[in-house]
Structures are given as structure tokens and as C-alpha cells.
Amino acid sequence: MITFDDFEKVDIRVGKIIEVEDYPEARKPSYRLQIDFGTEIGVKKSVGQFVVLITPTKVVVVGEKLF
């Protein structure tokens, strides 16, 4: 467990999902995501393993936020 002082150093951001595509090369079913974190950070790529819970069309909703 981390201390409160260490927790205060953590940089937590919210981004908007702008693109989702299947990631068939992954060992477990996954999606490739492009997330826009605004002008300071820009667009970043990530992978989400939530295929059994949600489809790509449900993930990309205008204004959908990702923590």
C-alpha cells in the first residue's frame, strides 16, 4: 500500500475515446484504443481487455470518457 504523500504525486487524467478497433494479435480478446487527453498530452494508444463486457460500438460514444 502507498502512503498518502505518494498518492498525492500520482497524475490521474481523463481522456475521450476517439477510436476502437479489434486487436486479434493479442493473446486474450482485446480492443486497441486511441484516447485523446487534450492539448497538453495529446492522443495516446492503449489496449482494453473488456471484449466479453462490451462491443466496439458501445465503447465509442461521442463524449465517452475513460479514466
Residue range 4-61, pLDDT digits in tens? 999 999 988 888 888 888 888 988 888 888 999 999 999 999 988 876 666 655 555 5
- Find all residues with CB under 8 Å of 19, minimum gap 6, and list them: 33, 34, 60
The HSE-up count of residue 18 (CA atoms within 13 Å, CB side) is: 11
Query: Residue 44 belongs to what domain range?
Result: 10-66
Domain membership of residue 23 (yes or no) is yes
Residues 32, 19, 62, 60: is their CA dihedral positive or negative? negative
Domain membership of residue 4 (yes or no) is no
The whole-angstrom separation of Cα 27 and Cα 46 is 15
Domain membership of residue 19 (yes or no) is yes
* Total domain count, the chain: 1
Task: Quote the pLDDT of residue 8.
Answer: 93
Domain membership of residue 5 (yes or no) is no
Band of residue 62 on the pLDDT scale cut at 50, 70, 90? very low
Domain membership of residue 3 (yes or no) is no
